[in-house]
Structure 1
Amino acid sequence: MSIANLLDPITAQGGQTRFSGLDQWMQGRTLYGGASALVAYTAATRAFPDLPPFRAAQVAFVAPTGSDIEVRREIVRQGRNVTQVRSELWCEGQCALSAFWLFGTLREANAVHPAAPIEEWPGPPEDAEDAMNGKGPAFITNNFEIRRAQDVRGPGAPIVRRWARLTDRDALDPISQLILMGDVLPPGAMRVMKRQGPLSSINWSFNLLDTEPTTRDGWFLSENASQHADHGYSSERLRLWNADGHQVLDGMQSAAIFG
């Protein structure tokens, strides 16, 4: 029911849309970033169902997103191979999220360079210890199963790594699952914060490395790593691997570090 609350109201026509039961997807006073990104992605693909395979995105989290949303989407450019679609979520008269989605046809490879194998493989998710049971914001406690994928606890290197899977995923295609969970972890910079304080995603850009991603039992290894943090912001690299250690998503994010 949680996924249905998120996606069922979205129509091909767009426009004013009312959602219900979104309390399960909230992060403070706004819809969790992965959930709002999935709403925008679904709006684009339902409006334009004949798009080529999805390959990349740029998502700006502009303002809090609530239950009453105006959905806007348009094809910005449709070339011979690549189509770029923009979708926006508007709340209370202002833009709350703006996203560009890149779709591209399959072409004969002129360059082949597989993603490097993951360093410090934590072992399979089936052997990992549970983490965050009953803890964290509403969107995690209601929708995700989280397991440890690193030994460090508390302060340390600015990297957060966890196994994660959606508890309700049967109605989602694999790409929608990745969008919904790609932003699930807090910034890696939290491990070097001088004191506890709020954290907030500002944007998220990512490339999909496999247009037909697969994994085992819904598990993905998620990692957020701060590349540089200062002046209240952190530049983060976000990556996802499947349960066999194959990278499926590579992304970047700017995060606000308050407190």
Structure 2
Amino acid sequence: MSLSQLFTEIEQTEWVNIPSGWLQGRTIYGGLVAGILMHKALITIADSAKYLLSTSITFVGPVQESKARLTAEILRQGKSVTTIEVRLWQDEAVQSILIASFGTQRASSIQVHQECIAPDYPAPEHLVKPLQHEAMPQCYRQFDVSWAEGQYPCTASETPDFGGWCRFNPEQHENREFSVADLMILMDIWPPGVLPMFKTLAPASSLTWHVTYVHPVQHQLQDWFKYKVFTDYAADGYSTESAHLWDAENRLIAISRQTVTVFS
């Protein structure tokens, strides 16, 4: 099932089939879960005048490769901002929750532009992509990911963090107009910033994820994006990190913050 087919199913019914090919360990890749929830939010809001401002996701429990039910509730619809909650259910239990705010532009005299500058990475065709390995999660086959700085995961690095390029794998996904649901799916493919410090393979997974959108998504599905992560703090089995995503023209698209559970 392609992403377009999945999104069409979300538009037509409350129950959806989680497609194959997206496993991340024993659960479904969190980015796909976030994209499913976001598409449900988009079709429920159904207002092209309101664009996504920010969203928060809590991964309550593991999502399995089976049927899931999606429910959506508009919590408040104001003149400028609409806030919505979407839940994904399996086995009669909530497994993931999304809360998102959509809004229209408003007149304001306040203008601040202090966003992080995009790193000057070599073009993706000049970088070596990590080789597919049996230990890599299945979901990585859906994307092209190229490291431009920092160490690979599980290499016993003394420092965390990395950056590089990412896009949907053209061999797996036909080109089409890019949506914010697609962006949620793509942005989460990067592992937690502390993973280069792991000495051996061990789990790490997102607990909460907050994304703020800066510039609107006006791209194609096969376009490249730059990503860079910074770990603020890690101890006692949890880490807190922030990350930025730019397009190929160095426009800041989104800012991410995550709390990650660490099993190493």
Using structure 2 for the length normalisation, give the TM-score.
0.88
Shift of residue 231 of structure 1?
0.5
- Going from structure 1 to structure 2, the CA distance change for 1:84 and 1:65 (only over 3 Å counts) comes to same
Residue 116 of structure 1 corresponds to 116
The residue correspondences of 1:61-100 to structure 2 (distance < 5 A) are 61-66=59-64, 67-100=66-99
Identity %: 24
Alignment partner, residue 165 of structure 1: 167
**Structure 2: 5+ residue runs without aligned partners?**
none
What is the total number of aligned residue pairs between the two structures? 254
> Could you tell me the TM-score, scaled by structure 1's length?
0.89
Amino acid in structure 1 at the alignment position of 2:167 = R
Match of 2:138 in 1: 138
State how far apart, in whole Å, the 2-side matches of 1:216 and 1:43 are.
19
Query: How far has the Cα of 1:221 moved from its partner?
Result: 1.2
Within-5 A mapping of 1:1-20: 1-11=1-11, 15=14, 17-19=15-17
Contact 1:77 1:83 in 2 (8 A): yes
In 2, Cα distance between equivalents of 1:118 and 1:139: 27
Out of 241, 257, 260, the position equivalent to 1:255 is 260
Whole-angstrom CA distance in 2 between matches of 1:37 and 1:50: 20
Question: Helix, strand or coil for the counterpart of 2:37?
Answer: helix
The runs of 4+ residues in structure 1 deviating greater than 6 Å are none
1:242 maps to which of 218, 239, 247:
247
Q: 1:161 to 1:23 in 2, by over 3 A?
A: same
Deviation at 1:239, TM superposition (A): 1.6
Distance in 2, matches of 1:188 and 1:170, equals 29
Question: 1:25: how far off?
Answer: 1.1
Work out whether residues 124 and 243 of structure 1, in 8 Å CA contact, stay in contact via their aligned partners in 2: no
Per-residue deviation, 1:123: 2.3
Question: Quick one: distance in 1 between partners of 2:254 and 2:138?
Answer: 25
Alpha-carbon distance in 2 for matches of 1:59, 1:25: 19
Distance 2:221 2:76 in 1: 36
The 8 Å contact of residues 215 and 243 in structure 1, kept in 2 or not, is answered as no
Q: Partner amino acid for 1:228?
A: Y
C-alpha displacement of 1:7: 2.2
How far apart are the structure 2 equivalents of 1:126 and 1:194? 29
Unaligned runs of 5+ in 1: none
* Letter aligned with residue 252 of structure 2: Q
Residue among 23, 29, 37 paired with 1:40: 37
Residue 204 of structure 1 corresponds to which residue in structure 2? 209
Distance 1:156 1:132, change over 3 A: farther
RMSD: 2.2
